[in-house]
Amino acid sequence: MAIKLEKIKFDNIGLELSMEDFNKYGSKVEMDMTVDPSADYTTNATDYFREAMIGENQSRGNFRAIFGVKDRVKLGTTTFESLIKSGACDFDPSDSDISQKEFEVCPLMVSTSVCIADLEQSFISDQIAKGSANFNDNFAFMTFFYETLAKEHQEELENLTWRGDTAGAETGNLAYLNSCDGLEKILGADGTVLVPGTASPITSSTVVDSIIEGRNALPRGVKSKDGFVIMAATNVVEAYKDAISENQASGQYYVGDVQLNFQGTPIVEIEGASDDVLILADKMNFLLLQDLISDETGYEVVDFYKTRLDRKIGIRTDFKFGVDFLIGKEIYYHSV
């Protein structure tokens, strides 16, 4: 069913356009209006927050996401012995093992503040809405501000995903690493995780052997899964690229934005990991635990002029965050 639109009417400015107008002026209609600079841009802090939390372009974007976790959650797993047997009259069932593992999230927050007076006296003063007592964040610089804030948020979460340690003693710009345990600590503490016989720094001359050692250590069923990946720290990825470039007989030189792989298995760079971290596993074995669906609504902006009479705006959001894994014996973990 087709609907033919005969006229377009703008009630607020008393303008009406018909198809005849478009035909008469060669389908071109020119309009002119004066727009206050403060109305040129609209920011959406919620979108920036969600982008930072999900981390689509970060290593945790490959994990299985579990949302709506306020404090902790239990997930069950099931394993079976051999199911197929020779036919017989008697019932001879195989054993099945049903177990559950509890996962906990860390309550975290992002908070910062900006002095309005500094904004008014800077190069962006012409973008700010008129008036000194009513701050509005709908202008160009705040779009840039939220975007930069979200990128920093993403970067810190990526580092926390891997190097977080609640028993750590980091200070200054790295103090956030003490707020939640990351995968390096969690994997290192689990006795069922597969590890190399001797872990040593990975170089271009040893990286291929290190990958092969991990691949051979894993059960066949893990390697056959669609989500089977190699996750490697930045220095390991660089060593792999160097190894390929040095091996001229391979005829493979990676240039530009090309997905690295080893014999068809994707290699995912984990920028937040410590040097020499190398992991082979099904990526769905790793969990990203959040409460994004519930009470996280974005970066909240508060004008302190209306509360404490400070000429500042505060930006804050509270959220839950955690990472973990399900089955340790299906993960190969190399670290030094």
Written as six digits, the tokens of 205 are: 């001359």
CATH number of 45-78+96-334: 3.90.1690
The stretch 151-165 carries a mean pLDDT of 92
- Kindly tell me if the per-residue pLDDT of 220 is higher than 70: yes
Q: Where are the domains of the chain?
A: 45-78+96-334
- pLDDT of 182 strictly over 50: yes
Poorest-pLDDT segment among 20-24, 144-148, 176-180, 276-280: 20-24
Average pLDDT, the chain: 78
Region of 321 (left: φ > 0; alpha: ψ -120 to 50; beta: rest) is beta
- Banded pLDDT at 224 (limits 50, 70, 90): very high
CA angle 106, 79, 93 (to 5 degrees): 150
Is the Cβ–Cβ distance between 207 and 234 less than 8 Å? no
Asked if pLDDT for residue 142 goes beyond 80, the answer is no
CA angle in degrees (0–180, nearest 5) for 149-127-35: 125
Chain-centroid distance, C-alpha 143 = 20
Interval 269-298: pLDDT, tens: 999 999 999 999 999 999 998 886 544 456
Question: Three-class SS of residue 156?
Answer: helix
Q: What is the mean pLDDT of residues 114-140?
A: 59
| pTM flag (> 0.85) | no
Helices assigned H by DSSP within the chain: 19-24, 45-54, 116-120, 140-163, 183-188, 207-217, 220-223, 234-246
